[in-house]
Amino acid sequence: MDFPWRYATLNTVMAIASYNLKGIVAATLLLVTYSTSGFAQQADTRDEAELLRQLVQSTPDQAIGIDRQLKALWSLSGSASADLLLERGREALDDGDTVAAVEHLTALTDHAPAFAEGWHVRASVFFGMERFGMAAADLEHALTLNPNNYEAIYGLGLIFEIVGQPDKAYGAYSRALAIHPHHDEVTNAVNRLKPQIEGAAL
């Protein structure tokens, strides 16, 4: 997936981004930070494909547990040192130390470049810092490694929306919702943009 904007352009767009997206950005940062933490010991033995199949067919209540199992599965690197770097990066982000978070997570992506969650979590740090170009690049990398990560797809949709590309944002949100039909934030995003997209198509 291509990202045609440049960082200088992002700084300009960021300055004129609509006010209501500020709350969305903050909420998403918290969502990525906390929803992926603490579930590594609860990973289900079933494979990702089965969990994703169940997620599509689940009720809203069932989706909560399946969502946690998927995030636990995606948080397993298979390396103790990589797990430690991920933990330290998340702890630094929880503490608001974005510099340390970037350092730990960059060490993680260098050490374990095939571990999608490292790229995803570092993207959440860049996203919270409003470095949207860097966040988009990390999300692109994460989705190359794990194309089913609906949180990463949602984050990418937010970036598209912030930089004024609602059609691409809507496409990303719709893709995420197809994977996780009961994701409240994604559902709200689809409903928010649907009138605009449908109106433009008339």
pLDDT digits (tens, 9 = 90+) for 2-61: 222 222 233 323 332 333 444 444 344 444 443 444 443 444 445 899 999 999 999 999
- According to DSSP, residue 129 is labeled T
In a domain, 12, yes or no: no
In a domain, 89, yes or no: yes
pLDDT at 199: 75
What is the pTM assigned to this prediction? 0.77
- Which of 3-7, 52-56, 112-116, 185-189 has the weakest average pLDDT? 3-7
> Angle CA(175)–CA(180)–CA(182) in degrees, nearest 5?
120
pLDDT tens-digit series, residues 154-173: 999 999 999 999 999 999 99
Helices (H), the chain: 7-16, 20-35, 48-57, 60-74, 80-94, 98-111, 116-128, 132-145, 150-162, 166-179, 184-201
In a domain, 1, yes or no: no
In a domain, 13, yes or no: no
In a domain, 162, yes or no: yes
* Structural domains of the chain, count: 1
- The answer to whether residues 93 and 33 touch, using CB atoms and an 8 Å cutoff, is yes
In a domain, 31, yes or no: yes
Domain that holds residue 149: 18-201
In a domain, 2, yes or no: no
In a domain, 195, yes or no: yes
What CATH number does residue 164 fall under? Answer: 1.25.40.10
Cα first-last separation, the chain: 27
